[in-house]
Amino acid sequence: MAKILIIGGGGMVGQKLAHSLAADPFHAGDEVTLFDMAFPAEGGAPAAQKLPGNITDKGAIRRLAAGRPDLIFHLAAIVSGEAETDFDLGWNVNMMAFRDLLEALRAEVVSSAHAYKPRIVFTSSIAVFGAPFPEKIDDTFFQAPQTSYGAQKAVCELMLSDYIRKGFFDGMSIRLPTICVRPGKPNKAASGFFSGIIREPLNGVEAILPVSRDVRHWHASPRSAVGFLRHAATLDTTLLNARPALNMPGVSCTVEEQIEALREVAGNDAVALIREEPDEAIRAIVKNWPRDFAPERALALGFHAEDSFRQIIETYIADDLKR
Amino acid sequence: MAKILIIGGGGMVGQKLAHSLAADPFHAGDEVTLFDMAFPAEGGAPAAQKLPGNITDKGAIRRLAAGRPDLIFHLAAIVSGEAETDFDLGWNVNMMAFRDLLEALRAEVVSSAHAYKPRIVFTSSIAVFGAPFPEKIDDTFFQAPQTSYGAQKAVCELMLSDYIRKGFFDGMSIRLPTICVRPGKPNKAASGFFSGIIREPLNGVEAILPVSRDVRHWHASPRSAVGFLRHAATLDTTLLNARPALNMPGVSCTVEEQIEALREVAGNDAVALIREEPDEAIRAIVKNWPRDFAPERALALGFHAEDSFRQIIETYIADDLKR
């Protein structure tokens, strides 16, 4: 029996991950703990424990570590838009709280005389990269983020990699593409519209498009995100060759191509619900975002995403669209 | 009149930097403060203030920030070998104390309503890179350090870059080559032998060579290091295009080429003082170090180093060799 801890387990991806683990006979005997500030009021994923709390609470973090989870998924974060407007909040939650978690877990590892060695899967982001970019970003392109969120994620990767290198933990960082189509309500991420322009029309609601249609970006579905996390949880990490931060696969397409995929799946009436309303603040953030990747290492290690944006829409319809 | 603060001002490069500023008529009216744990007992560089203290002392850091220095050179660090053996010390001094410094300075910037905006020149290192490497490391090669020291430097760069991007500070990070030939006694850096095999023979003393002669590495003299720092202090930072961490120029050569340069300058008797004594711990660290760079951005921005290792030896003889 393994103890699995999902930090950020109340969020969209955390909940889907918990559902995925609960549905897997291989994990039938495992004890899954979710930690987050809030959980869905109803219909939430099953878990042995749902602990409400804040990752900036050092006492709470020490108690989580004292439970000696075998596997920790770290998904909690202040999203990009909010980290950009609230500098302190972003650095405190996205970086300092993660350092406190690493230190609390390391204390358990050391006090166990290294009998305890958890695996940590850290969800990073393609926001660790900043413009200008090559046509496709390869696996050795440098981290020069142009947002606080991206800088915080890059810092966490570097910290985790060093703790792993020193033998305190096993694990890796996975750099998620923009996750699309997110179900539910918009969040504060500047990337929210990439989901909105698909989700709202499929639900018969008007959607705002704040950027021009030629914006190209890198996407994967929530189902793929869960697949990345679960693959990272069982991967033979010696194959990472001491470079445990990895660009995940995804689909590169323009907003125009997203819209045409929506037209194929749901017709002109759906597309007519997209209203263009330029937002300079969002444009300014998005223009510094990656457009395309050559994630060769991740593909060679067996990570996989959708092959087309149409597949991403179909995944949303299958997994999340209420009918 | 400018207020200049050198953190790590008691160290080898800090002292040479202070000497250089004191000798420059352009800086005649400036007030130079040195902060360090210790200063040379005699013959130290002139300065308006020499403040003994530890950068992990938050009170001391706040007092330094309250002085509102216009220009801060940050050179203080636990060196690579020691950061590798003392994990806590390395992260606390090399990363956390730097964050505390940034936060203390940001508090001054904010309380001045941004009338105060210091320039910070952070000395980083080529240790931010980890093997395997391309033949020459270019300006967009990724940070995947294989030492705690390198990870800490990479984290500091990312933090500083974000504070700069948000407009709190001006400044940049400069990634120094291995500084060679260091005068004086060996320090705890794993790179110490690169200086030792030149310095000791020139002083008539036996030197230990712990690695094989085909090891290739990247060097610049202390005089060049001071030149980099002073150029970074006055550079038009808009030219950095929001990528304020830069690989510095240097000389790429093998240990064999170093030894042959020593033979040219000082003859066979000097070379005969080098004794090979393999050290597996040092070999293991050094094999993950960069060998060569294409520092195009730094060269285009006017940073320059020596053209040959022979010049590096001659710089040592001119600047530091006691006769």
Check residue B285 and give its pLDDT. Answer: 81
Contact indicator for A30, A21 with CB cutoff of 8 Å: yes
Among candidates A142, A159, A243 on the partner chain, residue whose Cβ is nearest the Cβ of B141? A142
Mean pLDDT of B194-222: 96
How many domains does chain A fold into?
1
Query: Please, how many CA atoms are within 13 Å of residue B84, restricted to the half-sphere of its CB?
Result: 18
Check residue B4 and give its pLDDT. Answer: 98
* Long-range pairs, A233-240, Cβ under 8 A, ≥24: A233/A71, A233/A73, A233/A119, A233/A121, A235/A172, A235/A301, A235/A302, A237/A119, A237/A164, A237/A170, A237/A171, A237/A172, A239/A301, A240/A172, A240/A301
Task: List the Cα angle B77/B79/B83 in 5-degree steps.
Answer: 100
Helices within B80-133 (DSSP H only)? 80-85, 87-90, 97-111
Check residue A323 and give its pLDDT. Answer: 65
Q: Is residue A298 part of a domain?
A: no
The token pair that represents A323 in the structure block: 């009918």
Flag if A145 and B154 touch (Cβ within 8 Å): no
High-pLDDT (> 90) share of chain B, %: 89
Give residue for tokens 């042959």. B260
Q: Band of the pLDDT at B42, cuts 50, 70, 90?
A: confident
Q: Band of the pLDDT at B271, cuts 50, 70, 90?
A: very high
Contacts of A245 in chain B (CB under 8 A): 144
Write out the residue range of the structural domain in which residue B21 sits.
Answer: 3-176+221-247
Check residue A220 and give its pLDDT. Answer: 98
Among candidates A141, A145, A162 on the partner chain, residue whose Cβ is nearest the Cβ of B148? A162
Could you give the residue numbers annotated as active site of A?
A: 149
Q: Residue A159 is part of a domain; what is its CATH number?
A: 3.40.50.720
One DSSP character per residue, A103-125 reads HHHHHHHHHTTTS---EEEEEEE
Q: Band of the pLDDT at B63, cuts 50, 70, 90?
A: very high
pLDDT, tens digit only, all 323 positions of chain A: 899 999 999 999 999 999 999 999 999 899 999 999 999 988 899 999 999 999 999 999 999 999 999 999 999 999 988 999 999 999 999 999 999 999 999 999 999 999 999 999 999 999 999 999 999 999 999 999 999 999 999 999 999 999 999 999 999 999 999 999 999 887 667 789 999 999 999 999 999 999 999 999 999 999 999 999 999 999 999 999 999 999 999 999 999 999 999 999 999 999 999 999 999 988 988 888 899 999 999 999 999 999 999 999 999 999 999 86
Among candidates A146, A166, A243 on the partner chain, residue whose Cβ is nearest the Cβ of B165? A146
Contacts of A148 in chain B (CB under 8 A): 162, 166
Q: Is B269 at the interface with chain A, CB within 8 A?
A: no
Check residue A185 and give its pLDDT. Answer: 81
pTM of this structure: 0.96
Q: Is residue A194 part of a domain?
A: no
Q: Band of the pLDDT at B185, cuts 50, 70, 90?
A: confident
| Rounded Cα distance, B110 and B102, in Å | 12
Flag if A158 and B151 touch (Cβ within 8 Å): yes
Q: Identify the residue among B89, B126, B140 best suited for mutation to test binding to A, counting A beta carbons within 10 A and taking the highest.
A: B140
Q: Is B88 at the interface with chain A, CB within 8 A?
A: no
Flag if A148 and B130 touch (Cβ within 8 Å): no
Q: Is A133 at the interface with chain B, CB within 8 A?
A: no
Catalytic residue among B116, B149, B163, B316: B149
Mean pLDDT of B42-46: 88
Check residue B323 and give its pLDDT. Answer: 65
Q: Is residue A319 part of a domain?
A: no
Q: Is residue B198 part of a domain?
A: no
Contact indicator for B76, B7 with CB cutoff of 8 Å: yes
- The per-residue pLDDT for range B278-298, each reduced to its tens digit, is 999 889 888 888 999 999 999
Q: Is residue A187 part of a domain?
A: no
Q: Is residue A97 part of a domain?
A: yes
Q: Is residue A288 part of a domain?
A: no
| Rounded Cα distance, A8 and A18, in Å | 11
Q: Is residue B235 part of a domain?
A: yes
What angle, 0 to 180 degrees and rounded to 10, lies between the N-to-C axes of helices B309-319 and B222-234? 90
Flag if B142 and A146 touch (Cβ within 8 Å): no
